[in-house]
């Protein structure tokens, strides 16, 4: 008898479908899923993280905040809630006067105009008029690259923590000096200040306590 294998992604999908409109943290889902999979299948669930990310990427799961997911049966899998329609694009262009909201340049200045999701799609930003803005191609590019530098900063912080866990290694200490220099450049330019590490400037509200 051929046994139908329950894929891990289906298993994760079922878990969220049984909990509609509940905001579930990534770590809570992971804990529940791993325990249930172990009971049913008798082995470890290999990659629930990837399954959750994939279900979010496919538009099945909504990310309501960082690391917080929700299955909304009304909007799940419906890309029209995420992408702007042609009519919405036109309305946003008209509202913003066919000009980049950052620099004020328009097509008459020779720049291409893009309709940008103010809150990015990857963070659950929807294709609504309120979440749309006109950006020129260069400013759209800069905005995208600001999130690229976030990935870099997180990576350098992770590497720094790793390097510090091997304090007697001369190669590690050399790398630590390099990483501290790189991270100090982020702080010097005020880049991605919301991503904090132990060398971040202390915010004023923390000084009061």
Q: 25 - beta bridge partners?
A: 68
Closer residue to Zn ion, CB minimum distance, 17 or 146:
146
Residue nearest to Zn ion (CB): 100
* Least Cβ distance, residue 91 to Zn ion (angstroms): 20
**Cβ neighbours of residue 141 under 8 Å, at least 6 residues apart?**
none
Instruction: Tell me how far apart the alpha carbons of residues 60 and 184 are, in angstroms, rounded to a whole number.
Output: 39
- Token match 């999979």: residue? 37
Could you give the string, one character per residue 116-145, with x where binding to Zn ion holds by CB under 5 A and - elsewhere?
A: --------------------x--x------
C-beta separation of 21 from 71 below 8 A:
yes
Size of the site for Zn ion (CB under 5 A): 5
Closer residue to Zn ion, CB minimum distance, 55 or 134:
134
For residue 102, state whether it binds Zn ion (rule: CB under 5 A).
Answer: yes
Instruction: Tell me how far apart the alpha carbons of residues 151 and 155 are, in angstroms, rounded to a whole number.
Output: 6
Residue 65 CA, chain-centre distance (Å), reads: 9
Closer residue to Zn ion, CB minimum distance, 51 or 136:
136
Closer residue to Zn ion, CB minimum distance, 54 or 143:
143
**Cβ neighbours of residue 204 under 8 Å, at least 6 residues apart?**
none
Cα end-to-end span (Å), the chain: 66
Longest dimension (CA), the chain: 69
For residue 82, state whether it binds Zn ion (rule: CB under 5 A).
Answer: no
Choose the stretch contacting Zn ion; rule: CB under 5 A; options: 68-76, 103-111, 120-128, 200-208. 103-111
Closer residue to Zn ion, CB minimum distance, 103 or 177:
103
Instruction: Tell me how far apart the alpha carbons of residues 175 and 169 are, in angstroms, rounded to a whole number.
Output: 10
For residue 101, state whether it binds Zn ion (rule: CB under 5 A).
Answer: no
From candidates 103, 118, 129, 137, binder to Zn ion by CB under 5 A? 103
From candidates 100, 113, 157, 163, binder to Zn ion by CB under 5 A? 100
List interacting residues with Zn ion (CB under 5 A): 100, 102-103, 136, 139
């Amino acid at each position: 008898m051929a046994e139908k294998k329950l894929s891990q992604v289906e298993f994760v999908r079922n878990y969220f479908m049984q909990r509609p409109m509940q905001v579930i943290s990534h770590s809570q889902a992971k804990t529940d899923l791993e325990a249930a999979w172990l009971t049913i299948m008798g082995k470890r669930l290999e990659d629930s993280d990837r399954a959750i990310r994939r279900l979010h990427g496919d538009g099945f799961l909504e990310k309501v905040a960082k690391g917080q997911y929700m299955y909304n049966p009304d909007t799940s899998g419906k890309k029209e809630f995420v992408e702007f329609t042609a009519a919405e694009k036109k309305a946003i262009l008209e509202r913003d006067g066919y000009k980049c909201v950052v620099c004020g340049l328009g097509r008459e200045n020779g720049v291409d105009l893009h309709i940008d999701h103010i809150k990015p799609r990857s963070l659950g930003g929807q294709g609504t008029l309120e979440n749309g803005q006109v950006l020129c191609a260069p400013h759209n590019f800069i905005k995208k690259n600001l999130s690229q530098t976030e990935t870099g900063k997180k990576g350098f912080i992770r590497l720094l923590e790793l390097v510090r866990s091997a304090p007697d290694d001369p190669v590690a200490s050399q790398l630590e000096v390099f990483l501290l220099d790189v991270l100090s450049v982020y702080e010097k330019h005020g880049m991605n200040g919301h991503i904090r590490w132990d060398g971040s400037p202390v915010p004023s509200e923390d000084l009061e306590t």
